[in-house]
Chains A and B, each alone.
Chain A
Amino acid sequence: MTAALEHPPVQAVSEPVLEIRDLRVQFDVPAGRLPAVDGVDLTLRQGEVLALVGESGSGKSALSMSLVGLNRGPRTHITGEVSFGGRDLVAASERELRAVRGKEIAVVFQDALAALNPLHRAGAQVSEMIRAHRDVPRAQARDRAVELLGEVGIASPDRAARSYPHQLSGGMRQRVMIAMGLANDPAVLIADEPTTALDVTIQAQVLAVLKRVQRDHGTSVLLITHDLGVVSEVAHRVAVMYAGRIVEQGLRDEVLFNPQHPYTMGLLGSVPPIDGPVLRRLPAISGSPLTGVERPSGCAFAPRCPFVHDACAERPELRRRHGGDGHVDACVLPGAERTEARTKGGTE
Chain B
Amino acid sequence: MSAPLVSARRLRVEYPGRAGGRVRALRDVDLDILQGETLGLVGESGCGKSTLGRALLRVIEPSAGRIEFAGADLTRLRGRQLRRTRAELQMVFQDPFGSLNPRRRVADIVAEPLLRARGTTRTEAARTVAELLDLVGLGAEAGARRPHEFSGGQRQRIGIARALASSPQFVVADEAVSALDVSIQAQVLNLLSDLVRDRGLTMLFISHDLGVVRHIADRIAVMYLGQIIEIASRDAFFTGPAHPYSRALLSSVPALRRPGGDPAREREVLEGELPDPANPPEGCLFRTRCPKATAECRTRMPELREVAPGRSVRCHLPLVSGGFEAEGSSDAGNSSDCGGSASPAIKDVTL
Contacts and interface: CB of A to CB of B under 8 A. Distances in A.
A180 B210 CA distance: 32
Interface string A159-200: 000000000010110000000000000000000000000011
B258 interface: yes
B176 to A, nearest CB: 14
Contacts of A253: 258-259
Nearest to A291: B151
The listed residue with most B CB atoms (<10 A of its CB), out of A232, A284, A286, is A284
B269 A289 contact: no
Interface string A249-273: 0000100110000000011111111
B334 interface: no
B32 to A, nearest CB: 23
Interface string A281-301: 111111011010000000000
B269 A284 contact: no
Given A272-B211, A278-B215, A5 B182 contact: no
Contact of A2 (B151, B210, B257, B266): B266
A208 B238 contact: no
Contact of B248 (A201, A279, A283): A201
Contact of B184 (A4, A279, A283, A288): A288
Contacts of A230: 254
Nearest to A225: B254
B44 interface: yes
A226 interface: yes
A204 B256 contact: no
A233 interface: yes
Given A55-B182, A199-B45, A274 B210 contact: yes
The listed residue with most B CB atoms (<10 A of its CB), out of A202, A205, A275, is A275
Interface stretch (B52-60, B63-71, B140-148, B187-195): B187-195
A339 interface: no
A267 B182 contact: yes
Interface in B215-266: 215, 234, 238, 248-261, 263, 265-266
A3 B183 contact: no
B75 interface: no
B226 to A, nearest CB: 16
Interface string A203-233: 1110110000000000000000011111011
B212 interface: yes
B271 interface: yes
Contacts of A336: none
Contact of A273 (B151, B185, B255): B255
A140 interface: no
A268 B256 contact: yes
Interface residues of A, number: 53
B211 A273 contact: yes
Contacts of A13: none
Contacts of B44: 199-202
Interface string B174-209: 000000011111110110010000000000000010
B254 A348 contact: no
A1 interface: yes
Interface string B16-34: 0000000000000000000
Contact of A270 (B185, B193, B269): B185
A274 B271 CA distance: 22
Nearest to B267: A5
B214 interface: yes
A200 B253 contact: yes
B273 interface: yes
B267 A3 contact: yes
A7 interface: yes
A280 interface: yes
A273 B256 contact: yes
Contacts of A5: 257, 261, 265-267
B266 A233 contact: no
Nearest to A58: B181
Given A5-B266, A233-B254, A271-B256, A202 B273 contact: yes
A273 to B, nearest CB: 6
B214 A272 contact: yes
The listed residue with most A CB atoms (<10 A of its CB), out of B211, B214, B255, B274, is B255
A7 B259 contact: yes
Contact of A283 (B186, B210, B251, B253): B186
B291 interface: yes
A117 interface: no
B270 interface: yes
A11 interface: no
B268 interface: yes
B252 A282 contact: no
A226 B343 CA distance: 41
Given A229-B253, A271-B256, A169 B273 contact: yes
The listed residue with most B CB atoms (<10 A of its CB), out of A171, A268, A279, A281, is A281
B62 interface: no
B339 interface: no
B182 A226 contact: yes
B135 to A, nearest CB: 15
B152 to A, nearest CB: 8
B159 interface: no
Contact of B186 (A199, A282, A289): A282
Contacts of B291: 1
A92 to B, nearest CB: 33
Contact of A274 (B187, B238, B263, B267): B238
Contacts of B274: 169
Contact of A232 (B186, B214, B257): B257
Contacts of B184: 55, 288
Contacts of B36: none
B42 to A, nearest CB: 10
8 contacts: A4-B266, A56-B152, A202-B44, A271-B211, A281-B190, A284-B186, A289-B181, A348-B190
Interface of B: 44-45, 151-154, 181-187, 189-190, 193, 208, 210-212, 214-215, 234, 238, 248-261, 263, 265-271, 273-274, 291
Nearest 9 interchain pairs by C-beta:
A229-B254, A284-B186, A272-B215, A270-B186, A199-B44, A55-B181, A204-B252, A282-B186, A285-B183
